[in-house]
Amino acid sequence: MTAVTEAATATRTLTYAEAVREALAQAMTADERVFLLGEDIGTYGGAFGVTGDLVHSFGAERVRDTPISELGIVGAAVGAALAGMRPVVEIQFSDFTAQAMDQIANQAAKIHFMLGGAANVPLVLRAPGGSGTGAAAQHSQSLEAWFAHVPGLKVVMPSTPADAKALLLAAIDDPNPVVVLEHKLLYKERGPVPEAGTRARLGETAVRRTGEDLTIVATGVMVSRALEAADQLAGQGIQASVLDPRTLSPLDDGTIVNSVVTTGRALLVQEAPKTAGFMAEVAARIGESRAFGHLRAPIGRLCGLDVPIPYAPQLERAAVPQVADIVREAGELVRRW
C-alpha cells in the first residue's frame, strides 16, 4: 500500500479528545443509524470527557448510558449492527474488554464469515488504553496484540488529533467491526484537525519523519516519544525515520519494509510488554521480506517490561519506554552496527 505523508491542511487546533468528539458528532449528523452506547457517556460526558455534551445535541436515545456490563454493552451493539444500525461502543478502560471478549472475538469478528458474507457487523469499539495516569495494573494495559490476533477485526491506534478524527470516521464507515484504541495520555494533546469529515484509509502507515540511519516504528503514545527522541538523535548526528502504522490490522508492512531497505536498521517501539507483543509481528514481517538482505544490524525491539503496570509513579514510568530509552537504544543500534 502507499504510505501517507502528513500535510498541514488544517486551520484549527483541537485536542485529541475534541477531535474524537467532532468525528462522532459529524458521523451522527450525517447518518441517523449511528448511535453511541457505554457507561457514563451521556450526562457525565464519558470517563475521560470525550463524549462531552453530545447527549444534549442528539438526545438520550442516541447517546445511551448503559448498565455496568461490558458483555451486555457489546452484545447489544452486535445485535444492533446486525439489525442495520451503526453502533459506536465506548468501553471506559480497554482492560474491561476482557469482560466482553466472547462478544468481540467470537461474535462480532466471526459472524460475517460464518454466514458466508450474508450479514455485516458495522460496529466500532472505542477503548482508552495505556499507562501514565497512575491507574494501576487493571486500568493501564496496552492490549492491541489481543485484538490484532483475531481474524475479522480491524484494529486502529491513532497517535494524533487529526488521525483520531479521520480514522474514527473511517472506522464508522466500515461494514465490519473496528477496534479503536485511544491512549489516555493523548486526550489532552493538541494538533491541527481539518473541519471537513476527511477519512484516513484504514491500512496505511504514516511517515512522520524521514532519515537515512535507522527506522523507528512506533504506535500510540510512543509515536510522539519517538519523534522527540529523533530530534535528540539528530543532535548526535543520527537521522531517524519515524513510522506510525496507525492501523495494526490490516498492517501496511510495505511502507515499513521500504524504509528498512533504505536505512538498514529497525527499532520497534511499543508500550505493551515484549513477549508476544505486536512489534514481534512487525519484526517477523521485516525478517520475512526483502528488507532482510539489507539489514546492517539485528532488528531491535524496545517494549514495556513483562510485568503488570505498577501504581507507584516512578515504577510506572520504569515499566514502559521513555524518550531517553529510545535515544539510548537507537544510538546503540547505529553505533554498534
Q: Is 56 a catalytic residue?
A: no
Residue labelled with grid coordinates 507507584: 312
Torsion of CA 138, 322, 218, 274, to 10 degrees: -50
d(CA 63, CA 86): 13
Per the residue annotation, which of 70, 144, 182, 281 is the catalytic one? 70
Of 5, 36, 29, 3, the closest CA to residue 196 belongs to 29
Q: Give first-to-last CA distance, the chain, whole Å.
A: 30
CA distances from 32 to 24, 29, 37, 84, 206 (A): 12, 7, 14, 11, 31
329, 335 in Cβ contact below 8 A?
Answer: no
Q: Is 22 a catalytic residue?
A: no
Of 216, 275, 280, the closest CA to residue 248 belongs to 280
Would strands 124-129 and 178-183 be described as parallel, antiparallel, or unpaired? parallel
d(CA 87, CA 31): 11
205, 218 in Cβ contact below 8 A?
Answer: no
The kind and range of the H/E element at 150 are: none
Q: Which residues of 268-280 are buried (b: 16+ CB within 10 A; e: fewer)?
A: bbbbbbeeebbbb
For the chain, the residue count is 337
14, 156 in Cβ contact below 8 A?
Answer: no
Instruction: Kindly state the cell numbers that stand for 211.
Output: 532519515
Beta pairing partners, 37: 64, 89
Instruction: Kindly state the cell numbers that stand for 189.
Output: 494533546
Per the residue annotation, which of 22, 112, 139, 204 is the catalytic one? 139
Kindly list the catalytic residues: 70, 139
